Amino acid sequence: MDNKRGLVPRKIKGFRDIDANLNELRWNIINKASKVYQSYGFEHLDTPILEYAECLGKYMPDEDTVDKGVYSFKNPEIEPVFRADGKRELRDADNNVVMDHAFLSMRYDLTAPLSRVYAERLWTRAIKNQLVEGTAPLFRRYQFGPVFRYETKLDPGRFRQFWQLDFDTVGSSDVASDAEVCMILSDALKAIGLAQSDFKIRVNNRKILKGFLHGQGITTPLQEQAILRVIDKLDKIGLRGIEFELGKGRKDKSGAIIPGLGLDEKMVSNFLSFFEIFSESDMNRGQVIEALGEKIGNNEVSKEGLQELNRINSVLAESGLSDEAVLFDPTLVRGMAYYTGPIFEVESTQFYLDHKGRERRVGSICGGGRYDGLVKQLLGVNVPATGASIGVDRLAELLTLTNRGGTAQGPLLITVLDKEMMPEYQKIAKELREGGVNTEVYYGPNQGFKKLKKQLSYADDKNCPIIILLGSDEFEKGVVSVRDLKMGREIADEVTDKKEWRARVQHEVSRTDLVSFVNQLLNK
């Protein structure tokens, strides 16, 4: 029996190949957004794909395997191990430095590497206790690139490698910088090509909810998390669903039983009365602030949160961001536990039809918030930070699904009618490239007169704007046949006659005028 392991070319589950069209879309998103980020003063930072697992804020995995959604493995080289205070290497009984293999992780977002970079720069000051809260330097950077998560269930549109496009401000506790996050997101999405009506930026402040929960006697982080998680589902399951999940639990339409948190009825009704006026309301930002003021009473944390919202509102108002563009939504939660203040989410308002004709939506395309405690794990000091991230792949998917993806433009193609004329083809190609035209000479099989058709379909598949035909006929006349495929595609529906079609798109051009003629066609 043949028990040798075989080789099959295949892609790892949850990863994907990106074709020319998607790449064009992706880079268009990145370039447009980056320009906006730069215009606000953010600098471009890149960090490695791999980091020490401990620096990413995850627990040390005990085996070299995927741990809690993070791809990790043991570094093949050995390095000194540090003492708990981080100031020195750990020593063994003989006073030798302890060496070991560190665990490395692939980054699961761009925020954790940012805090590593920031903390690394301040490290010497921190261990000398020279770092005082409130004096940490300002650092603003943007970053994009792939991040990796080991997802166990791969829903459509959810991948194990995907791109993020982040911008963050570290070192400012002023919530005006949170208002700025909204401005940047709005500018960036518009630069990418979305209309104002295509998206809504929703804003909330964790402090308001937190204070309210405290007022209700919810104090442990675990309880808090559980309740926030339920509230997060409001727009999905509605007030009734929230009522059941906070209380006794419920059965969903598939028959699955969702256990409830078992809060008592009094508390549940308090929650409901807090949220009901905000669920599906069309209050403007000022009205939400007013309504919240009545709801939160004297709770200090909530009041602080409300004041912050107020400040954000006044900045937004002066920045021309309307109540339609940015709205305050006290029911917004967001999953991540590390957010400490204002939180943001950008929701696409677009619907699309899936292949079975069902109406669907892409949902959240950006997210972010203030995370004043993130660097603390590394430096022991709170450093304020806020920022947001555009989900590049989500957004690309949205643009594709709503037919705004576009097709990547191919090069001009020089067909090969006669192999003997290859030097001439190369010469023309060189001239065209020097004239600024992307030019490909056909190298595939099917060269020659008889196989021209194959070369033409190749050009078609590659979305080439122009093809050039040069055989002995043309050569003797000192001309080149130039076919405008781009125009050909445009008139294909109205012109059905083959000969007429060819007459309209194909031109004989003198060899000497070729480059300028081609450029004329391309710039038309």
| Site residues for RNA per CB under 7 A | 13, 57-58, 68-70, 108-109, 112, 149-150, 152-156, 229, 233, 236-237, 252-256, 258, 335-338, 354, 417, 446, 448-450, 452-454, 456-457, 460, 469-474, 481, 483, 488-489, 492, 495-496, 498, 501-502, 506
Coil/strand/helix, residue 133: coil
Inter-helix orientation angle 234-246/265-276, to 10°: 160
Q: Which helix (H) or strand (E) holds 444?
A: none
187/347 with CB nearer RNA: 347
Rounded least distance, CB 334 to RNA, Å: 7
Coil/strand/helix, residue 26: helix
128/453 with CB nearer RNA: 453
Alpha-carbon distance values, 169 to 40, 130, 369, 371 (Å): 11, 22, 11, 10
Per the document, the length of the chain is 524
Beta-strand pair 249-251/257-259: antiparallel
215/471 with CB nearer RNA: 471
Query: How many Å apart are CA 272 and CA 44, to the nearest integer?
Result: 45
The half-sphere exposure of 21 on its side-chain side, counting CA atoms within 13 A, is: 11
133/473 with CB nearer RNA: 473
307/446 with CB nearer RNA: 446
160/295 with CB nearer RNA: 160
Rounded least distance, CB 457 to RNA, Å: 5
Q: Which residues make Cβ contacts (< 8 Å) with residue 420, sequence separation at least 6?
A: none
Rounded least distance, CB 10 to RNA, Å: 11
* 44: its two tokens: 């471009």
266/356 with CB nearer RNA: 356
Alpha-carbon distance values, 146 to 24, 47, 284, 519 (Å): 16, 11, 37, 37
> b/e string for 499-516 if b means 16 or more Cβ within 10 A?
eebeeebeeebebeebbe
